[in-house]
């Protein structure tokens, strides 16, 4: 069996994940990519999405990430994200409130040109993705 790889997910505020993983799937800007031991090194930007990995015991884990970069080395994946939370650390009420705010802003955007549509859409995507991460399992 292949060796594990080290997964590290960090934000400007905190270290979110630092553990051994059997496989890591990440939301690259050019599409989702998977990293196993021995992967060819590369660097990519990330989009808002879910990092999924199998920990050393084979349990499936999900982590929310928004923005940033991932570096894959043959035995390590490092993610530097603008924000990231493990599934268990996502506050569902906060994500639902953010979703409602973003929907309201986008609903108003047709008549109210003060609404920043790009920003509201990005907030909507973060909220939906957080709720999707909570919904895994």
- Residues near ligand ATP, by CB under 6 A: 13, 66, 83, 85, 89-91, 94-95, 98, 123, 126, 130
CB closer to ligand ATP out of 7 and 98: 98
**Shortest Cβ distance from residue 130 to ligand ATP (Å)?**
5
Residue 41's alpha-carbon distances to 37, 45, 49, in angstroms, are 11, 14, 21
CB closer to ligand ATP out of 56 and 100: 100
CB closer to ligand ATP out of 35 and 70: 70
CB closer to ligand ATP out of 5 and 133: 133
* Token duo for residue 135: 């919904």
Instruction: State the Cα angle at 126 between 122 and 127, rounded to 5°.
Output: 115
**Shortest Cβ distance from residue 91 to ligand ATP (Å)?**
4
Compute the half-sphere exposure of residue 111: CA atoms within 13 Å on the CB side of its CA. Answer: 3
Compute the half-sphere exposure of residue 35: CA atoms within 13 Å on the CB side of its CA. Answer: 30
**Shortest Cβ distance from residue 66 to ligand ATP (Å)?**
5
**Shortest Cβ distance from residue 18 to ligand ATP (Å)?**
16
CA–CA dist 5, 19 (Å, integer): 8
């Amino acid at each position: 069996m292949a060796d594990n790889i080290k997964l590290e997910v960090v934000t400007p505020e905190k270290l979110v994940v630092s553990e051994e993983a059997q496989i890591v799937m990440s939301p690259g800007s050019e599409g989702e990519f998977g990293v196993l031991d021995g992967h060819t090194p590369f660097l990519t930007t990330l989009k808002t999405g879910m990092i999924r990995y199998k920990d050393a015991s084979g349990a499936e884990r999900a982590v929310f990430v928004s923005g940033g970069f991932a570096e894959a080395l043959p035995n390590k994946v490092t993610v530097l994200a603008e924000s990231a939370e493990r599934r268990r650390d996502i506050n569902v009420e906060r994500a639902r409130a953010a979703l409602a705010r973003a929907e309201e802003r986008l609903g108003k955007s047709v008549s109210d040109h003060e609404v920043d549509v790009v920003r509201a859409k990005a907030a909507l995507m973060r909220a939906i993705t957080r709720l999707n991460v909570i919904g895994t399992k």
